[in-house]
Amino acid sequence: MLRTVVCRAGSGLLKHSWQTVPASWGSRAQQRWASSLPMNTVVLFVPQQEAWVVERMGRFHRILEPGLNFLIPILDRVKYVQSLKEIVIDVPEQSAVSLDNVTLQIDGVLYLRILDPFKASYGVENPEYAVTQLAQTTMRSELGKLTLDKVFRERESLNSNIVHSINQASDEWGIRCLRYEIKDIHVPPRVKESMQMQVEAERKKRATVLESEGTREAAINVAEGRKQAQILASEGEKAEQINRAAGEANAVLAKAEAKAKAIRLLSEALTRLNGNAAASLTVAEQYVSAFSNLAKESNTILLSSNTGDISSMVTQAMAIYGSLSKTQSTADSATPETKELTLEGNTVSETGYK
């Protein structure tokens, strides 16, 4: 019930079959395969996620499932051990030329899984090496269809195209490529410098555009502010003029009403007892005051023909007030009227209501 580590017959076959592959690949694969080939001990225990390919007298017999299995000694032999786990392969760095004739150094990582152990054992000599070479050639082919700028922008699309191309060829090998990821992309130093200059120019362009947009927005805001200020100022001036006009109109109406009321009260006072005597005294006082102020503010003086006869002047003024008392009944609905009275050769204008 022992399990051997090395099978001499299997190792001899592997040594012969790896003569056409690189030494590094052959050493790694030989070590993995040789350490995985068990010896037929009648009773074998197959680990989970492994498939053991058994040959009977040199021909394919069956694939052992995980768990307990029985083999016939000498006739049956475990020829291949395939791992059904996901395998990660590091794709070496290689040169590729883009559509715009730029040489790139690119490497990647390949993720695959064996779906059919029979095809993986008998369909291809070295599945991992075959898939790696296919990934490299497909990657060079896909990079030749893209320019340098698109290689960096469409990295995900490039990965999916490589996976699709690998799966089309690896179906006959029983292998399924799950993912392909590009690790590093190296460009020549001069191209890298030009790309850096392009990036700096693009950033300067964006900065200039943003600054110009900011200046434009600031100018628009200032113009809008001035416009609003002028509108508000004109509206304020309009409201002020309307208020001033309304105030002046109210003042005129108030003065007219006050004057009408004063005339009405004066006419009522003249009709009372001794009203004429009081009016004569008031007129005489005003006459004396006005006569004393003559020639104080102007050089032109108009005098009556009889300036010393105060009684005649008072008599004429009383005659005027007498005429006003006769029109008392129509004072409320009266309209302004100008009367011209002649006082001993001089013309006197009086504003009344009729």
13-43 pLDDT tens trace: 333 333 344 544 444 444 444 445 888 788 8
Domain boundaries, the chain: 38-83, 85-187
Supply the pLDDT for residue 126: 83
Q: Flag whether pLDDT at 122 surpasses 70.
A: yes
Q: Lowest-pLDDT range, 28-32, 55-59, 137-141?
A: 28-32
Residue of 36, 180, 40 whose CA lies nearest to 121? 36
Share of the chain above pLDDT 70, in %: 70
Tokens of 242: 């309307």
Q: Flag whether pLDDT at 75 surpasses 80.
A: yes
Check residues 4 and 287 and name the one with the higher pLDDT. 287
With 0-12 / 13-18 / 19 or more C-beta atoms within 10 angstroms meaning exposed / middle / buried, residue 91 is buried
Distance CA(263)–CA(254), nearest Å, equals 14
Distance CA(211)–CA(286), nearest Å, equals 82
Check residues 318 and 2 and name the one with the higher pLDDT. 318
Q: What is the mean pLDDT of the chain?
A: 75
pLDDT digits (tens, 9 = 90+) for 241-274: 999 899 899 999 998 888 888 888 877 777 776 6
With 0-12 / 13-18 / 19 or more C-beta atoms within 10 angstroms meaning exposed / middle / buried, residue 151 is buried
Q: CA distances (Å), 304 to each of 6, 294, 299, in order?
A: 159, 12, 16
pLDDT digits (tens, 9 = 90+) for 93-107: 888 888 888 888 888
Tell me the mean pLDDT in the region 326-334: 47
Residue of 125, 7, 116, 118 whose CA lies nearest to 62? 118
> Which residue has 């032109």 as its token pair?
300
Q: SS3 helix, strand, coil % of the chain, rounded to 5?
A: 55, 25, 25
Superfamily for domain range 85-187: Band 7 domain (3.30.479.30)
Work out whether the CA dihedral 307, 310, 311, 315 comes out positive or negative: positive
Check residues 197 and 9 and name the one with the higher pLDDT. 197
**Amino acid code (one letter) for 323:** S
Check residues 191 and 274 and name the one with the higher pLDDT. 191
| 3-state secondary structure at position 57 | coil
Distance CA(265)–CA(267), nearest Å, equals 5
Work out whether the CA dihedral 148, 152, 157, 160 comes out positive or negative: positive
Q: For residue 11, what pLDDT band results from cuts at 50, 70 and 90?
A: very low
Q: Flag whether pLDDT at 282 surpasses 80.
A: no
Supply the pLDDT for residue 203: 87
Tell me the mean pLDDT in the region 287-314: 62
Q: Lowest-pLDDT range, 71-75, 170-174, 277-281, 349-353?
A: 349-353
Q: Flag whether pLDDT at 346 surpasses 60.
A: no
Rounded to 5 degrees, φ, ψ at 44 are -125, 145
Tell me the mean pLDDT in the region 319-323: 57
